[in-house]
Amino acid sequence: MARDRAQIQRRGSEMSGRFPAPLHALAFGAHPDDVEIGAGGLLRKWANQGKRTGICDLTKAELSSNGTVERRQQEAAEASRLLGLHVRLNLELPDRGLAPVPEQIQAITRIIRLYRPRVVLMPYWEDRHPDHGMCSVLVREAVFNARIRKYNAGGEETFPPHKVEHVIAYFINGQTDPQFLVDISKEMEAKMAALGAYRSQFEMEPGSVATPLTEGYLERVRAREYIFGQSAGVVYAEGFVSYTPLLLKDFL
């Protein structure tokens, strides 16, 4: 079912039996480019530290005003390379058709059980685009279900339950005061390069139509990260909200 629809790119040496090696972090987004906007710097930082990371896009953004599905997938592959991802998946759920129905929740639950991430990232639940908020709802449901031993996630294979340690929300369009910031000063240009890979979305080309993304959107992302950074005494930072209790053990 959705497992068969998922497009999975992984490095050949990382499979152990029928399971891929666990990920440190798996970030979910409604569309290709969502995660890069809100958490591209953090994913690049973790990659630089040798941690295994991945992105799971719920849809192919087939209703986007500009570009094509095929080109968007090529752009996502280039962005993945620039961020040093170990895996990129697409569940091919319907764009503007995301809903908290069992089939969609099961599809996400299977991915969480398969890749067993320590950290799951999702969009912040308040955003002007309804798909971003719905992605957050679906991911929270799936994270909860993934740890229930008797929950049937559907599909041809049954994967054992998995408890995610941290669920963290990133910002796309809207933002609130973040609970914590991550210094991405060294990763900012890699983040912007990954976003720049999505030329069909952020640049006006022949045949393009004007959208909020083509009207200085990337400059606003850079400005947001600069403001976050200045508030913490660094050049650039990304802001996050923790959905799960955050234990500050590293400096106490």
DSSP string, 214-248: TTTHHHHHHHHHHHHHHHHTSS-EEEEEESSPP--
pLDDT score of 175: 72
DSSP letter, residue 14: G
Q: What is the pTM of this model?
A: 0.91
The tens digit of pLDDT for each residue in 30-71 reads 999 999 999 999 999 999 999 999 999 999 999 999 999 999
133: enclosing H helix or E strand: helix 130-146
The label of the residue with tokens 């720049």 reads: 196
Angle at the Cα of 173 from the Cα atoms of 170 and 174, rounded to 5 degrees = 80
pLDDT greater than 90 at residue 4: no
pLDDT score of 236: 98
* CATH annotation of 2-242: 3.40.50.10320
> CA-based diameter of the chain, in Å?
55
pLDDT score of 2: 43
Report d(CA 45, CA 187) in Å as an integer: 6
Q: Are 171 and 239 in contact (CB under 8 A)?
A: yes
Report d(CA 28, CA 123) in Å as an integer: 7
The tens digit of pLDDT for each residue in 158-193 reads 789 999 999 999 999 977 899 999 999 999 999 999
Cα-based distances in Å from 163 to 26, 53, 145: 13, 17, 9
Beta-strand pair 180-183/166-170: unpaired
Each residue of 133-144: b (16+ CB within 10 Å) or e?
bbbbbbbbbbbe
Instruction: Identify the CA nearest to 2 among candidates 181, 177, 153.
Output: 153
